[in-house]
C-alpha cells in the first residue's frame, strides 16, 4: 500500500473560535495542521463543541510556530514551542502562550476524526 496526500489540499477543515484544523485522512493515520490564534484555549474554543470538560483526544505533535501550554487533568503542566515534538494523553486543556499564532502538526490515529466536532 502507498498513500500520499498533501495538507495544502486538506480533505476537511474545522473552524472554531480563534483557530482551525486542516486535515487529511490516510489508512490508519489522520494528519492535521492546527492553527491557533493568540487567545485560543481548548476549554473556551473547543470544549463547547466537544461537550467534554477536557480534551479527550490523544495528540502526537510537532510545533512549527508559536508556543502552547498544556495542563493535564492531574495538574501536570508543560510547554512546547518551535521544534518540539510532544505526546499528550487524553484529559488535558491547552492554550496559546504569547502573541504569536501557534501552528502544530498532529499525527494521530483515527480518534482525531472527532476533534472539534459537535457531539
DSSP reduced 3-state for 113: helix
Domain ranges of the chain: 13-114
Report if pTM > 0.75.
yes
| Span 13-114 CATH architecture | Sandwich (2.60)
DSSP reduced 3-state for 96: strand
Q: 10 Å Cβ neighbour count for 93? A: 19
d(C-alpha 68, C-alpha 1), whole Å: 35
pLDDT tens digits in sequence order for the chain, 119 residues long = 999 999 999 999 999 999 999 999 998 888 999 999 999 999 999 999 989 999 998 999 999 999 999 999 999 999 999 999 999 999 999 999 999 999 999 997 544 555 555 54
Q: Where are the beta strands (DSSP E) in the chain?
A: 12-16, 19-26, 29-36, 59-65, 67-72, 77-80, 85-88, 92-97, 102-108
Amino acid at each position: 500500500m502507498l498513500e500520499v496526500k498533501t495538507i495544502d489540499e486538506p480533505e476537511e477543515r474545522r473552524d472554531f473560535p480563534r483557530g482551525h484544523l486542516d486535515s487529511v485522512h490516510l489508512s490508519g493515520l489522520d494528519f492535521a495542521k492546527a492553527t491557533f490564534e493568540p487567545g485560543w484555549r481548548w476549554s473556551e474554543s473547543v470544549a463547547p463543541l466537544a461537550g467534554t470538560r477536557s480534551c479527550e483526544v490523544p495528540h502526537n505533535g510537532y510545533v512549527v510556530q508559536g508556543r502552547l501550554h498544556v495542563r493535564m487533568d492531574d495538574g501536570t503542566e508543560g510547554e512546547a514551542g518551535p521544534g518540539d515534538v510532544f505526546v499528550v494523553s487524553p484529559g488535558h486543556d491547552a492554550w496559546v502562550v504569547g502573541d504569536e499564532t501557534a501552528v502544530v502538526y498532529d499525527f494521530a490515529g483515527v480518534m482525531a476524526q472527532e476533534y472539534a466536532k459537535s457531539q
